[in-house]
Amino acid sequence: MLLLPVFWRRAALRGALGVVVAWLALVGAVDTAQAQTAAPATPLPPEVEAALARARLPREALSVMVVDAQGGKTSPARLAHRAQLPVNPASVMKLVTTYAALEQLGPAYVWNTPVYLQGTVQDGSLRGNVYIQGQGDPKLVMERLWLLMRRLQGQGIQVIVGDIVLDRTAFEVPDHDPARFDGEPLRPYNAAPDALLLNYKSSVMTFVPDAAAGLARIQYDPPLAGVARQATVALGAPGTECGDWRGTLRAELADPAKVSFQGVYPASCGERVWPVAAADPRGFAAKAVEGMWRELGGKLTGSVREGKVPAGLKPAFVVTSPALAEVVRDVNKYSNNVMAQHVFLTLALQKNGVATFDGAREALRQWWVSRMGDAELPLADNGAGLSRDARITAQALARMLQVAWVSPVMPELVASLPISGVDGTLRRSQSRAGTAHLKTGSLRDVMAVAGYVHAASGRRYVLVAVVNHANAGAARPVLDSLIDWTARDQ
């Protein structure tokens, strides 16, 4: 579109007719090249057409590609519909991130969190500072923070006569407003990446009703220093239905220094768990570190603050994460956004020594070009799919999944995907249980699945299906019908 004014200016010098002919030829050449690389369109199966009609979705809302997993780039598609058009894939983009990481980092890759001591230890006291250097561990959850503090005590330290310093300089990411994406800042899926990510920047509240006492006890994990938390909440009247129990609690969670409830808890709910993102995400790590240290009986005369590990200091010990293969399983089975962003940023960290989103996108681009050839490059944005800007074509993603099928890391990738009707985000799927390993994705206006389907004939198919439409929330039966159709290969 922007080239037209240039052509018309040249037309004044060289003749409008010749330029227009040349321009039309150029457009025709581009269209021809696209037609040669795009998968030929095939009719949608009748049951899929019917499912679209019931969901009140137009055919134009769906992009789909079904192709033999073992076929090459020239193998004919079993089903192709609008497969060459870039669409928002939501969390299906995690497939690109996790496969790239498995190939570039290796399934056994681990994240290390070194802990440094500056000073001398005598009679149970460290006269100096403790430094904890975050290097992007996406699974430094409460249990592993507890182990880190126990190992610190194993150095003979009960009292820190100094500070605990948190070094987060391995990640250079922009400031993040957790409310910007969808106005839900307390939802854990909106947590931002952090070189020292503790418990996904979230607390877990467990409610345990005690009918005899007329109250529910509340357990909070992890312990947070300086935060006043209500220990119990009254039970609702006998017979109160569970229903919207979170709304019934009338929780006040916006104050970083206080958690309280103005409502009641229905006893009929039994024990329930409520994860909540920190109201003060940047200050969460300091509160969690100090809270856990004091919970274990440790004393601290100074404060927990941010800083950088002094040059030349050697680590006293290192806390090691689970292997990448296990992390990828969490990312894909349960669609964990912040873990996916950590995996994505680690591509840049290993390549450049510091993690930035631009660096991660460039590392992904180089890998994609080397592995996928001329398949259209995805627009990965943050690598997690929690984005309005991410784009990929069904055809390109299907090609990537074909390449992955013959990759040495195929077993780790496939094992990370939810199984239809069995586990993860597909446990409630109405399609044939156990026939498919598929990553799901959903946002406002987006619903998608992509992965592998085991057909009745014994063949494995790649299935990529994405719905982009204002009514995408109604598309689950459409996707289930595609899974079932793909599996019925007699």
pTM for the whole structure: 0.90
Query: How buried is 317 (Cβ within 10 angstroms: 0-12 exposed, 13-18 middle, 19+ buried)?
Result: middle
Question: Would strands 164-167 and 125-133 be described as parallel, antiparallel, or unpaired?
Answer: parallel
What ranges make up the beta strands (E) of 108-154? 112-122, 125-133
d(CA 136, CA 105): 14
Which pLDDT score is estimated for 32? 31
Which pLDDT score is estimated for 341? 98
Which pLDDT score is estimated for 490? 63
Q: What are phi and psi of 216, to 5 degrees?
A: -115, 130
d(CA 76, CA 32): 19
The DSSP secondary structure of 214-233, one letter per residue, reads: TEEEEEEES--TT-EE--EE
d(CA 484, CA 425): 17
Which pLDDT score is estimated for 396? 98
Which pLDDT score is estimated for 37? 53
Please check whether residue 81 is in contact with residue 42, taking contact to mean a CB–CB distance below 8 angstroms.
Answer: yes
Per-residue pLDDT tens listing for the chain (490 residues): 333 333 233 333 333 333 333 333 333 333 333 333 567 788 999 999 999 999 999 999 999 999 999 987 778 999 999 999 999 999 999 999 999 999 999 999 999 999 999 999 999 999 999 999 999 999 999 999 999 999 999 999 999 999 999 999 999 999 888 888 988 888 999 999 999 999 999 999 999 999 999 999 999 999 999 999 999 999 999 999 999 999 999 999 999 999 999 999 999 999 999 999 999 999 999 999 999 999 999 999 999 999 999 999 999 999 999 999 999 999 999 999 999 999 999 999 999 999 999 999 999 999 999 999 999 999 999 999 999 999 999 999 999 999 999 999 999 999 999 999 999 999 988 777 789 999 999 999 999 999 999 999 999 999 999 999 999 999 999 999 999 999 998 6
d(CA 90, CA 470): 14
**Residue written as token pair 């009986």:** 297
Please check whether residue 180 is in contact with residue 245, taking contact to mean a CB–CB distance below 8 angstroms.
Answer: no
Which pLDDT score is estimated for 22? 35
Element (H, E) at 94: helix 94-105
SS3 186: coil
Q: In whole angstroms, what separates CA 452 from the centre of its chain?
A: 20
Which pLDDT score is estimated for 16? 34
Non-local (6+) Cβ contacts of 284 within 8 A are 198, 201, 224, 278
Provide the β-strand partners of residue 461: 68, 453
Which pLDDT score is estimated for 429? 85
Residue 430: CB atoms within 10 Å? 14
Please check whether residue 404 is in contact with residue 457, taking contact to mean a CB–CB distance below 8 angstroms.
Answer: no
Q: For 335-431, where are the alpha helices, taking DSSP H only?
A: 337-352, 357-372, 394-405, 410-415
Element (H, E) at 23: helix 16-37
Which pLDDT score is estimated for 38? 66
Which pLDDT score is estimated for 41? 81
d(CA 412, CA 238): 49
Please give the span between the terminal C-alpha atoms of the chain, in angstroms, as a whole number: 48
Which amino acid makes up residue 470? Answer: A
Which pLDDT score is estimated for 33? 34
Looking from the CA of 373 toward its CB, the CA atoms found within 13 Å total 8
